[in-house]
Amino acid sequence: MEKIINVLSLTKSFGPLELFINTSIDIYYNSVTAISGKNSSGKITFLKLLSGLLLPDNGKIMIYEKDITKNRTYAKQFVSLALNTEYGFYPQLTLKENLLFLCKIYKKPFDDILIFVDILNLQNFLNNTFSLCSSGIKTKFWLVSSLVKNTKILLIDELTKSVDFDTRQKVYELIKELKTKFKYTIVFVSHDSNEINLLCDHWIKIEEHKFVQIR
């Protein structure tokens, strides 16, 4: 299998807290990889490092064989990040306006993104302002908005956070479709072993601040 991301001897510290402590890991093309670990083990930090929003203390992060710690703009062409926080979009704007803003930046027709809006049943919420949306809607919106960017590497924090049972199945279907039909490489953070077993080709656990390849 072709390696798309190589993480080599990575260390990231925040004051006395040292994460990943000189460990390496590979992520493969067109695969779905789950990251799990205890709270504060560094899961989101890892996603931010992969997307160039954080810089490591030591080590290299290679995407398509280029070190993104030295060329963040290059990394940002290939990576899309869904952080799944309560914030992250303009709170006064509606979901549609936030999407249109991103579509204008990426020169993507709004209609191209409507297919994902429909899959996740967001069409009735498009005219709601982001700040008034529930956590579940925000989770779905993060996922849809990360697909506006024309990338093939998708990083998602907590795939199904706050979403109802029916939507959860739709998110799973979407992830499978993104992998098979759109050839995405997906890395997501999860605490749900059923979800991991259902969707993932690979499973990386962060234990004692080091990567452990489970599958």
Partner 1 sequence: MNNFISLTSAFLYKEYKTLQYYKFYSIIKFLFSLVQLVVFYYFCSLISKEYFKFLFFGLLFSKIFSHTTTVIIETIKQEQFSQTIYNIFSLPYSELIVIISSFFAKTIFFFFDLTIFILCGILFFNIKLTFNNLIFLLFYTIYTIFIFLWYTIIICSLTFLIKKSEHFIFLLNSLIDILSGVYFNPTVLPTILQNISYLLPTTYVLFFIREVIITSKINYNLLVYPTICSIIFLPISIIVFNFILIKILKTGKLTSY
Contacts of 160-167 spanning 24+ positions with Cβ under 8 A: 160/192, 160/195, 161/84, 161/135, 162/134, 162/135, 162/136, 162/138, 163/136, 163/139, 164/136, 167/120, 167/121, 167/136, 167/140
Residues binding partner 1 (CB under 8 A): 14, 45, 48, 51-55, 57, 72-73, 76-77, 79-81, 83, 85, 87-93, 97, 100-102, 104-105, 107, 129, 145, 149
User: Least distance in Å: CB of 107 to partner 1?
Assistant: 6
User: Least distance in Å: CB of 55 to partner 1?
Assistant: 4
Q: 86 or 173, CB closer to partner 1? A: 86
User: Least distance in Å: CB of 9 to partner 1?
Assistant: 17
User: Least distance in Å: CB of 81 to partner 1?
Assistant: 6
Q: 97 or 201, CB closer to partner 1? A: 97
- Whole-number Cα distances in Å, 111 to 117, 118, 140: 10, 11, 17
Q: What is the DSSP letter of 84?
A: -
- State residue 162 phi and psi, 5-degree precision: 65, 10
Q: How many CB atoms lie within 10 A of CB 16?
A: 5
Q: 53 or 126, CB closer to partner 1? A: 53
Q: 76 or 170, CB closer to partner 1? A: 76
Q: 15 or 165, CB closer to partner 1? A: 15
